[in-house]
Amino acid sequence: MRILLTGGAGFIGQHVHRQLVAEGHDIVVLDSLRADVHQNPPALDGLIVGDIRDAEVVDRALDGVDKVVHLAAKVGLGVDLDDMDDYVSSNSLGTAVLLRAMGRRKVRQLVYASSMVVYGEGRYECDRHGVVAPGPRRVQDLEGGQFEPPCPFCGDPLRPGLVDETAPTDPRNTYAATKLNGEHLAVAWCRETGGRVAAMRFHNVYGPGMPRNTPYAGVAALFRSALERGEAPRVFEDGRQRRDFVHVGDVATAVTAAAGALGDHPQFAAYNVGSGTVRTIGDLAEELSRAYGGPAPVVTGDYRLGDVRHITASSERLRETLHWKPDYDLRTGITDLLNS
């Protein structure tokens, strides 16, 4: 099978590339190798260096392709408001250019890299009002160290839980909005072309090859870089933010499982891709400090307004439908990271 892998030179992309090659596929990689992400670009067979927004480059990359795995994106929460147009252009416009070219080339199968950030805050229950959706957290509460969102009706404390793919979406930063927009574009494309799309809503991905020393690095990479400098990881808020940290190797097998199932796939389906184990940001910092033999984490009380408090999701649909399961828990995943 000939597969176009966009963003194949990136962190997740390189792992997906290795997995697809191991499964015997012929891979074409399209990557812009943008300088703010790729300080040391990898050498990949079949690499086309070009921008996903360049229609001529995308059309050339699709020559002879049977299906597409679309990972190319500008990632991260964003540095400041000045990033907004770059996120929209890179992610939303880039996806639209790709989908248009796929339609013209009659390539009808797509795996799209989405994100758990499309949900905004996770699932919460109030003892009095049942399942509720808290509003955005207020600056005055965060400044005062009140990090938990209250019930929007009575102000009582809430219990966080797991979201599934049927949960309402509520993107709360520009990156999240563009990831959800990509899903909506893919749904429209399916209706127009009869295509098949699997949208993979990745959780907090970590592992060998994580980007570091860039404004868009994830929290695991930031903690690791601090420890390698001999510094304590700096944990925002109180460290009790709930997340699902999933090893990049498990993400790669989830992506290839979805790619392999597209022939018998619904027109569009979303899948949460996580380890299935709820941990906290503080847990991650402690595990990394222990593994690196470094200083204990420092809980700062700082915050970023675009962050959500808790977001963890069930990956049962992925496990049951595509017969996938993760191979790493947080401790074995960090050991793999340490040895990389």
Strands 47-49 and 26-31: parallel
Structure tokens at 331: 């401790």
User: What is the C-alpha to C-alpha distance for residues 161 and 145, in angstroms, rounded to an integer?
Assistant: 22
Q: 3-state SS of 269-296? A: EEEEECCCCCEEHHHHHHHHHHHHCCCC
Q: CA dist 47 to 61, 278, 314, Å?
A: 9, 37, 35
User: What is the C-alpha to C-alpha distance for residues 62 and 281, in angstroms, rounded to an integer?
Assistant: 40
Q: Which residues are catalytic?
A: 175
Interhelix angle 219-228/281-292, rounded to 10 degrees, is: 30
